[in-house]
Structure 1
Amino acid sequence: MGWRWWLGAALVLATVLVWIPRPVYAAVSGYLPVNWRTLLTALGIIGLTVLAGSAVATRRRPSNEPGQGNDVKKPLLREIPGWAIWVSMTGLVAVGLLATWWLVTRYGSGDPTAIEQNRIKLESIRLAGSVVVGTGGVAALLLAARRQRVSELDLLQRDRVADDNRHDANERRATELYTAAAEQLASDKAPVRMAGMYALSRLGDANEDLRQTIVNLLCAYLRMPDVSIANSVAPAKDGQNDHKPDGSPQALVVDLAPAPLAALTALSPDLHLQQQQERQVRLTAQRILTRHLQPQRDENGNPSNTSFWADRSIDLSGANLHWWSFTGCEVNSANFTEAQFHGHAMFRGSKCNVAMFGEAQFHSSVEFEGAHFWLGWFPSVNFYEFARFSNARFWERALFSEARFHEGADFTGACFDEEPSFYSSLARLDLDSDTEWTWPRGWFTQDIDLLDEHGGRWGILVTNDSALDSEPEG
């Protein structure tokens, strides 16, 4: 019960007690106004009206909201009960009779022979009728306001239901499209797999919540065993030249976006043709992935690429990547641990908070020129050809421990907020005289004898204030 119930009950009880003759009333009546009984009776009628209104206002039924659990309920207005209508009508009649009686007794003398007094009585009756009519008008106004509120609540409820239905339909459609596109990646036909990748790309553009999931799926495809190259997962031995991938750049770099997918129809039984088709599928996955990670910022620093997916993370650990181009890409974190890079790899101008390249193999040259890393981890990385880190920026730790530089390195202009670590890193020195070696400030190479399996003449990286205490193993 609310406060309206208690107030109405108190007023009705006071009215009942007033009209019961008690000696105590006679004792205190001299201190009360002349028409105090009438006043309290009017208050009692008002109390009855309050009780009826409270019953109408509090009679509600719970209703489940669409899209919510069974435990979440919202009260809705119910119909007005019949007894409340009768109580309200009785209250209106009582107000009219009470007003008539009070006006006649207050302003009329009761003498039928007095014309002036009869006129006053008539005016009093008219005034009482006006009071009754006004009271009914107030009741009608309240009912109209209630109908308006019920209509607005119903409209809001319908809008919520429509919004929930649209949301559910969009979620179902996105799930169906994602499932269908993901199933295409398992097809044995290269065009079908590429079509699934482009479908995922369009789906991610339209559904921001699915973008990281789509990125994860594309990365997972690239982490799968690569049948496009023979023995691609076996790392090359130091000093050997069998680390370079088969095939020319012209055969690898093919722009498939504008070309019809029908150009690569049915798989051939020939293994070489199957490998070439799988190579194109993987290049397509790489191209789609990096396109969504390039903001292409304008002169004000705002992304101009409408297909840019911000704040993404990629996991390409153990993946075989061909002619990888990560130029201008921005991600939160990138995991290239034990990845195999075939063909020229580019990370020029890329930005990454955490970049992990532990035990990665760069079988061709690589460029990190102008790249920005908050944390850059390159332990046990093999750079089989030239590695360029000019003007790269490492905001915190840069770790190159036990890295192998086979054919030159350039750290010109590289900036390290903390001292980089090249512990036990090696550089091959028995190369042509024009091979470029530019190390970070304070680092240089010192000749060292290694085991036979490394081959050639190697130098270990040391700082100006350090001495060579021991030789690294292997």
Structure 2
Amino acid sequence: MTNPLQPRPKQDGRHTPNLWPVWIVAPGALLLVGAAAFGLYHGAELLLSSESTGKKPVGVQDVIKTTVTVLTLIGAVLAALYAYRKQLLDEGTSHRADSTQLTERYTKAAEQLGHEQPAVRLAGVYAMARLADDWPEQRQVCVDVLCAYLRMPYETDTTAPAFRHGEREVRLTIIRTIRDHLQDPTTTNTWCGRNLDFTGATFDGGDFTRSNFSGGRVSFSGSTFSGGVAYFSDSTFSGGQVSFSGSTFSGAQAFFHGSTFSGGQVSFSGSTFSGGVAYFSDSTFSGGQVSLSSATFSGGEVDFTGSTGFVHF
């Protein structure tokens, strides 16, 4: 059984301050003010009478004036407390309204991403990215939705029945959007340090140039880079885990030119390079672990020209 003398329990999703019930607070405040008035009246009378011994007796009006003054101060304090409580309630209402609005924006953006028309899906990409910027508490969720879109089945053959016109532009826009949020880890709307899950995704191009993969977990495991050019040039891989394990570079070019691998773990273990080229030229490998163990090179090429540091094969 709930104890009525305890504050209301906090519920998930509620922004209302954890306050006492009004039917308890109001009578309690009245009793408190009444007791204070009674005590102040008699206390002031006794105090003034004791100080006026041998002097002119203290009049009742003086006692009443003193009592009224003190009660006025108490009333001012109570009014301030009431105003503060009202402000808390208003803030709770505002937070709930914001939460409702953000949830509605999320629902609409998700619906747009699932639309049949590519133009509407593009609008959904921008809407979800903007929502991620405006909603720090759920930013990871918004990023997860965009990454999940890239993990969905993707047909690159224009003659295949499952091919969708405009889909490539939607996917490239998602990649550019993610890249733009990985440029500067010091900005308030950065996605650096967030988990990015591209496991099993298909890439026929994409530009991650100058991205900062610092902190968090980034997974390209099992991804397929088929045709097109994937740019990771001048990127920084530091302090996190980035996995290309089991990925396939088939007829694609992947540029890691000028990138820095420091203080993190980057794995290409078990990857297959067939008919494609991965350029690591002029890259720096320091203080981290970069692994190409068990990688298969079949008609493909990996270029480390001008690179410094150690790579484990």
> TM-score, length-normalised on structure 2?
0.79
Q: Find the counterpart in structure 2 of residue 186 from structure 1.
A: 114
Would the alpha carbon gap of residues 89 and 379 (structure 1) be closer, same or farther in structure 2, given more than 3 Å must change? closer
Distance apart, 1:83 and its partner CA? 7.1
- In structure 1, C-alpha distance between the alignment counterparts of 2:153 and 2:245, rounded to whole Å: 19
Within 5 Å, give how 1:272-311 maps onto structure 2: 274-295=163-184, 308-311=190-193
Distance apart, 1:379 and its partner CA? 1.0
Which residue of 268, 276, 286 maps to 1:385? 276
Distance apart, 1:221 and its partner CA? 0.8
Which residue of 335, 348, 365 maps to 2:233? 348
User: Is 1:358 the counterpart of 2:255 in the alignment?
Assistant: no
Would the alpha carbon gap of residues 84 and 421 (structure 1) be closer, same or farther in structure 2, given more than 3 Å must change? closer
Would the alpha carbon gap of residues 354 and 83 (structure 1) be closer, same or farther in structure 2, given more than 3 Å must change? closer
The amino acid across from 1:191 in the alignment is: A
Greater Rg, structure 1 or structure 2? Answer: 1
Distance apart, 1:137 and its partner CA? 3.3
Would the alpha carbon gap of residues 75 and 393 (structure 1) be closer, same or farther in structure 2, given more than 3 Å must change? farther
- In structure 1, C-alpha distance between the alignment counterparts of 2:170 and 2:307, rounded to whole Å: 36
Unaligned runs of 5+ in 1: 1-60, 108-123, 231-245, 247-269, 423-474
Which residue of 30, 33, 46 maps to 1:79? 30
CA contact (8 A) 1:368 1:392 kept: yes
- In structure 1, C-alpha distance between the alignment counterparts of 2:37 and 2:277, rounded to whole Å: 97
CA contact (8 A) 1:380 1:404 kept: yes
Would the alpha carbon gap of residues 72 and 219 (structure 1) be closer, same or farther in structure 2, given more than 3 Å must change? farther
Would the alpha carbon gap of residues 274 and 225 (structure 1) be closer, same or farther in structure 2, given more than 3 Å must change? closer
- In structure 2, C-alpha distance between the alignment counterparts of 1:385 and 1:89, rounded to whole Å: 90
Distance apart, 1:356 and its partner CA? 0.5
Would the alpha carbon gap of residues 421 and 193 (structure 1) be closer, same or farther in structure 2, given more than 3 Å must change? same
- In structure 1, C-alpha distance between the alignment counterparts of 2:92 and 2:259, rounded to whole Å: 45
- CA deviations on 1:13-49 (whole Å, 9 max, x unpaired) are xxxxxxxxxxxxxxxxxxxxxxxxxxxxxxxxxxxxx
- CA deviations on 1:398-418 (whole Å, 9 max, x unpaired) are 2111223434332133233xx
Distance apart, 1:334 and its partner CA? 1.5
- In structure 2, C-alpha distance between the alignment counterparts of 1:279 and 1:361, rounded to whole Å: 19
Q: Find the counterpart in structure 2 of residue 404 from structure 1.
A: 296
CA contact (8 A) 2:7 2:19 kept: no
Distance apart, 1:215 and its partner CA? 1.2
DSSP 3-state at the match of 1:226: coil
Q: Find the counterpart in structure 1 of residue 194 from structure 2.
A: 312
- In structure 2, C-alpha distance between the alignment counterparts of 1:210 and 1:321, rounded to whole Å: 27
The amino acid across from 1:211 in the alignment is: R
- In structure 1, C-alpha distance between the alignment counterparts of 2:166 and 2:89, rounded to whole Å: 49
- In structure 2, C-alpha distance between the alignment counterparts of 1:271 and 1:138, rounded to whole Å: 92
DSSP 3-state at the match of 1:129: coil
Distance apart, 1:193 and its partner CA? 1.7
Unaligned runs of 5+ in 2: none
Which residue of 335, 343, 358 maps to 2:219? 335
- In structure 2, C-alpha distance between the alignment counterparts of 1:350 and 1:325, rounded to whole Å: 11
C-alpha RMSD of the superposition: 3.5
Distance apart, 1:284 and its partner CA? 2.2
Distance apart, 1:79 and its partner CA? 1.6
Q: Find the counterpart in structure 1 of residue 104 from structure 2.
A: 176
- In structure 2, C-alpha distance between the alignment counterparts of 1:97 and 1:276, rounded to whole Å: 93
Within 5 Å, give how 1:95-110 maps onto structure 2: 95=46, 103=53
Distance apart, 1:380 and its partner CA? 1.9
- In structure 2, C-alpha distance between the alignment counterparts of 1:165 and 1:172, rounded to whole Å: 11
CA contact (8 A) 2:41 2:63 kept: no
CA contact (8 A) 2:221 2:244 kept: yes
CA contact (8 A) 2:202 2:223 kept: yes
The amino acid across from 1:377 in the alignment is: S
Would the alpha carbon gap of residues 88 and 293 (structure 1) be closer, same or farther in structure 2, given more than 3 Å must change? closer
Would the alpha carbon gap of residues 150 and 85 (structure 1) be closer, same or farther in structure 2, given more than 3 Å must change? closer
- In structure 2, C-alpha distance between the alignment counterparts of 1:164 and 1:135, rounded to whole Å: 43
Would the alpha carbon gap of residues 217 and 347 (structure 1) be closer, same or farther in structure 2, given more than 3 Å must change? same
Within 5 Å, give how 1:375-454 maps onto structure 2: 375-383=265-273, 384-394=275-285, 395-405=287-297, 406-416=299-309, 419-422=310-313
Which residue of 88, 99, 102 maps to 1:160? 88
Distance apart, 1:85 and its partner CA? 8.1
CA contact (8 A) 1:96 1:129 kept: no
Distance apart, 1:324 and its partner CA? 1.8
Q: Find the counterpart in structure 2 of residue 91 from structure 1.
A: 42
Would the alpha carbon gap of residues 316 and 85 (structure 1) be closer, same or farther in structure 2, given more than 3 Å must change? closer
CA contact (8 A) 2:41 2:67 kept: no
Worse-matched range after superposition: 403-412 or 88-97: 88-97
- In structure 2, C-alpha distance between the alignment counterparts of 1:81 and 1:72, rounded to whole Å: 17
- In structure 1, C-alpha distance between the alignment counterparts of 2:44 and 2:140, rounded to whole Å: 71
- In structure 2, C-alpha distance between the alignment counterparts of 1:357 and 1:82, rounded to whole Å: 71
The amino acid across from 1:168 in the alignment is: R
